Amino acid sequence: MASLKKKSARDLILAIDQGTTGSKAVLLNGKLKLIAEGYQEFPQIYPKPGWVEHDPSEIWKSVGSAVKKALRKAKIKATQIACIGITNQRETTLLWDRKTSEPIYNAIVWQDRRTADLCRDLKEAGEQRAVKRKTGLLLDPYFSATKIAWMLKKVTGARAKANKGQLCFGTVDSYLLYRLTGGVTHATDISNASRTLLLNLKKGVWDSSLLKLFKVPESLLPEVQPNDGVFGRTQGVGFLPDGIPIAGLIGDQQSALFGQACFKTGSAKCTYGTGSFLLLNTGTQPIFSKSGTLTTAAWQLGKKTHYALEGSAFIAGAIVQWLRDGLGIIKDSSEVEALARSVPDSGEVTLVPALTGLGAPHWKPEARGIITGLTRGSTHAHIARAALEGIAFQNADLLRAMENDLGKKVRVLKVDGGASNNNLLMQFQADLLRSQVVRPQITSTTALGAGLLAGLASKMFSSLKDIEKTWKEEKTFKPEMPLKESKVHLSRWEDAVRKA
């Protein structure tokens, strides 16, 4: 077990996991034992079809609320916190005033599709190839650069203020860091920076030609720092004392990869959150995908950067929320597994959860969700089962694409996130992948990864090997469905995707 090197008044790690639908605060001790956690949901804003926004003040309040809840549950004082790690929803984009910290517009969420036309225009102008070569990404509304461009163009006075150096850009990690340090530190890490379409992936620096392409002034940008360093210290926060080191910033999916101890080349994890995100560690050399997945920075420890292949399905757990809020066929998300199990299969009902377009490996922002195969005998239970299967089908597409790029089969997929606790979904996932699906004892691996990095930066943990020893398996799902049957399912899915 990794352990604290010495006891002190400050001996706990606070990991802040700022997600798409809420913020979580997790308190861990030096042996990675979960002491307490707090969670606070916040509103989603949908101004127009395909638009998704967050009120930055609600994000900030939710973080404070989550931290206070965790401290109350643990019955401890904030003065016992030795260090803070931050992980975050990634491509979500904010611009704020450098002096007042006040945002100039709502945060534009990673799911938002308002810049689809701009991305199409850039593709038609022949920019896709150069952008992918430099960033490992595709021209898609998913990423931050076109969101920045939209705000600078559409928000009154934004361009003039940006040109004068009066504004800051950041993904949520940068915004929280700025607020937690009282406006002292404007920085980010390489994992978040690599999701903006503005970073030269191999060099690890902001790229001047990309800034010119998207018309983004360099003065807006945060400093890119290694993941395992101290970024700043708390100052004037209110719900935390001054002077706590903030370390271990990392984007949520890379944080889950780290929290799953996927330190070796070829190791992979899938996080089932609002969306579904599959990452495969490719080591210290980036592999540029030819199969529709993305190349991204995993983390930078010291001067050494590790890379990953990534595939994202924009809607995963969110489809269960839609069953609850949109269709009203369940009252609570926890009911979906029992409802799906009440029928032996989906009755050939197929649900493609493309409610905000299709991500990797298809990249069709114009796609929309569909349900096919309905008959007079179809029930709520068949739709619920088809929704869960739709999550697994998307991940099967992602892993097959990554295996094509890697040139070999991935035999083990580690899983985490809320929906990974759904045994029906995990078994179906293993059946489709023809690989083992392994769930850890701690499924909040996103928060865990940030906490581990903060512990490394603060010298609470000595090495990756010590951290690796702390990872523990809870359950392994092995393929049980006959290969022929799984191929029939995949064929049905491919037909439905074509229709979507």
Residue 469 has pLDDT above 60, yes or no: yes
> What value does the mean pLDDT of the chain take?
91
Residues 293, 312: Cα–Cα separation, whole Å: 8
Contact 174, 168 (CB under 8 A): yes
Taking the C-alpha atoms of residue 1 and residue 4, their distance in angstroms, rounded to an integer, is: 10
Residue pointed to by tokens 């929906």:
419
Reported as a single tens digit per residue, the pLDDT across 418-442 is 889 999 999 999 999 999 999 998 8
Task: Of 12-16, 172-176, 314-318, give the lowest mean pLDDT range.
Answer: 314-318
Q: Work out the average pLDDT over 147-167.
A: 96
93: nearest Cα among 191, 157, 170 = 170
Which pLDDT tens digit goes with each residue over 255-295?
999 999 999 998 999 999 888 999 999 999 899 888 888 99
The domains of the chain are located at 12-248, 260-500
* Model confidence pLDDT, tens digit, residues 204-237: 999 999 999 999 999 999 999 999 889 999 999 9
- Identical fold at 12-248 and 260-500? yes
Mean pLDDT, range 343-360, rounded to an integer:
90
**Multiple choice CATH, 12-248, 3.40.50.12780, 3.30.479.10, 3.30.420.40, 3.40.1710.10:** 3.30.420.40
- Predicted confidence at residue 14, as pLDDT, reads 95
Rounded average pLDDT over 48-57: 94
Residue 25 contacts residue 38 (beta carbons within 8 Å): yes
What pLDDT score does 2 carry? 41
Lowest-confidence segment of 184-188, 257-261, 407-411 by average pLDDT: 407-411
Q: For a pLDDT cut of 90, what percent of the chain falls above it? A: 76
Task: Decide if pLDDT at 25 tops 90.
Answer: yes
The Cα 166–Cα 41 span in angstroms is 31
Quick one: CA dihedral 398, 108, 138, 228, positive or negative? negative
Q: 405-429: b or e for each residue (b if 16 or more CB lie within 10 Å)?
A: bbeeebeebbbbbbbbbbebbbbbb
Mean pLDDT of 97-121: 94
Instruction: Output the pLDDT for position 1.
Output: 38
**CATH architecture label of 260-500:** 2-Layer Sandwich (3.30)
- Region 371-394: mean pLDDT is 95
Kindly state the average pLDDT of the residues 331-348.
93
**For residue 9, what pLDDT is reported?**
59
- Asked if pLDDT for residue 447 goes beyond 70, the answer is yes
Give residue 479's pLDDT. 95
pLDDT-derived band at 193, boundaries 50, 70, 90:
very high
Q: What value does the mean pLDDT take over residues 337-349?
A: 94
Q: Are 35 and 28 in contact (CB under 8 A)?
A: yes
pLDDT at res. 3: 39
| Statement: residue 8 has pLDDT above 70 | no
pLDDT at 6: 42
- pLDDT of amino acid 7: 41
Total-model pTM: 0.87
Q: Where do we find the tokens 């390489």?
A: 190
148 or 289: which carries more pLDDT confidence? 148
The residue with tokens 């101004």 is 47
